[in-house]
Amino acid sequence: MASPTESSQWPLLHEDLLHEITKRLLKPSDYVRFGAVCKGWHSFAHKSYKQKHLLHVHQNFPLLLIPTEDQEGRSLYNITEGMVYHQFQLNLPNKRCCGSSYGWLFFVDKVTKSTLELILINPFLGDSKTIKLPPINLNNDDIQDMMDHYGVHKAILSKDPYVSPHDYEVVALYGSLAKLAYYKYGDKYWSYAKKAKVKILADVIFYKDLILALDRYDWIISFTLEPKARIQRTNCSLWYLKCNTLMIRPRTIRNYACNAYLVENSNRDLLLARRFYWGESFIQARETAQQLNAARIQDIAEGGSGIAFLEEYKKIEENMYREEEDPKLTVNFEVYRLSFSWDGKRLIKKIRIKTLDGEILFLGDNNSISVSASKHLKLHSNSIYYTDDYDNYCDLPFGSIDNGIFDVENESFDRHYLPSFSIKDLPPPIFVVPK
């Protein structure tokens, strides 16, 4: 005679239902009773309790997702304790993660000559939690040999697809020019922005029902979804993204930041953080070289040889190139508070700030997060924790090492994680908030 467990349908319950049940379990003894039903439930209870315990201890606390020493998976690293959660090893693609929102991770899944496909994975909800997005169309502006896992610079979500499975949006910065594409759940195709006056976008954010982006010269642009006047092809979206430039700065080397980020803090203020890999000496040398080259051209035009100018120009250029061969390390951050009109069509204020008012920023090209220091006393208040944004980390002699802590008030640096040399050719560490 079959046992009650063998004759019942309990072992066949879908994982989503099991997750709904375990969400309501409060005590360890509840998990023991739950896991006693069958082997499948026991395995699920063990995994669920481990995840819930980790999330409870570090609620809303960004952890570093790092390659494992055996180079076959990823682990989570606690920067305050300096410890790796070896028991929480994640099976993820051995590629660069181009986005992280609500515990979901974006990876470039497939690339052809004309399309690029993104995949969403939430390893904290189980191996089956994967979402494939429609292909992004590429054109002649996109350099095909750069379209592997670097093909998407950044991708973000408006909402958690697990909580709002039919009401989420995705924005991606893709291609060699970091153009913007938009997707809403249920759409068959992405919507694209018409060519803006900016060259390469650095970051994008969903902020108070707005899509805001910026480039590395501090141009801030809003994007709104508009219906197309004419539909020329059947396999395309009915919408396009209209650009509205909210702030323009001159395109000079002194206004250029090596990277820039938009992040919403706990008070719903929007902050702009600008990151620099080189300082005033580099800017001065580059401007001097440009002036010498212009003087040489003028000298030749007036009948001279231009040799004296050329020799000096070569010396300065050679010194700059030698500097650029070294690892690119962050030397400074600038942080600004932004405020907009009620409709988001005008930037009212942009104020440089020297304090984060008790907030902590976690910045990287895959994600931008702000948390309150009052909830995480072991972290450095009014500081920026950052990860390496350098794309070609495999070309660096020591791999991805530009990870650190920048104190906004004192303008000083500290370390939070130094990757092992054995994983230098693997994707760099990134900040994630497990959910």
Q: Identify the residue whose tokens are 């700065």.
A: 249
Higher pLDDT, 30 or 221: 221
Yes or no: say if 428 and 404 are a contact pair by the CB < 8 Å rule. Answer: no
pTM, full prediction: 0.79
Task: pLDDT band for 58, please (50, 70, 90 cuts).
Answer: very low
Cα(119)–Cα(207) distance, rounded to whole angstroms? 23
Higher pLDDT, 260 or 31: 260
Task: pLDDT band for 363, please (50, 70, 90 cuts).
Answer: very high
Residue type, 153: H
pLDDT number for residue 128: 59
**Backbone angle region of 357, left / alpha / beta, with phi > 0 → left and psi within -120 to 50 → alpha:** left
Higher pLDDT, 340 or 412: 412
Cα(339)–Cα(271) distance, rounded to whole angstroms? 9
Cα(276)–Cα(183) distance, rounded to whole angstroms? 32
Yes or no: say if 377 and 353 are a contact pair by the CB < 8 Å rule. Answer: no
Neighbours of 153 (CB within 10 A): 24
Yes or no: say if 417 and 404 are a contact pair by the CB < 8 Å rule. Answer: no
Neighbours of 141 (CB within 10 A): 10
Cα(389)–Cα(313) distance, rounded to whole angstroms? 30
Give 359's strand partners. 372
Residue from 237, 220, 219 nearest 228 by CA: 237
Cα(265)–Cα(207) distance, rounded to whole angstroms? 11
Mean pLDDT on 97-107? 91
Give 63's strand partners. 432
Tell me: the pLDDT tens digits for 139-187?
776 665 555 667 899 999 999 998 899 999 999 999 878 889 999 999 9
pLDDT number for residue 402: 85
- Measured between its terminal Cα atoms, the distance across the chain in Å is 43
Of the listed ranges 8-17, 158-167, 184-193, 343-352, the least confidently predicted one is 8-17
Q: Identify the residue whose tokens are 């650029």.
A: 324
Which pair of structure tokens corresponds to residue 90?
Answer: 């994640």
Task: pLDDT band for 48, please (50, 70, 90 cuts).
Answer: confident
Secondary structure element (H or E) that encloses residue 64, with its range: strand 63-67
Neighbours of 65 (CB within 10 A): 24
Cα(97)–Cα(118) distance, rounded to whole angstroms? 11
Mean pLDDT on 59-69? 79
Yes or no: say if 179 and 155 are a contact pair by the CB < 8 Å rule. Answer: no
Yes or no: say if 408 and 368 are a contact pair by the CB < 8 Å rule. Answer: no
H-type alpha helices, 39-190? 39-57
Q: What are the DSSP calls for 38-63, one per residue?
A: -HHHHHHHHHHHHHHHHHHHTTT--E
pLDDT number for residue 395: 58
pLDDT number for residue 57: 46
Neighbours of 254 (CB within 10 A): 11
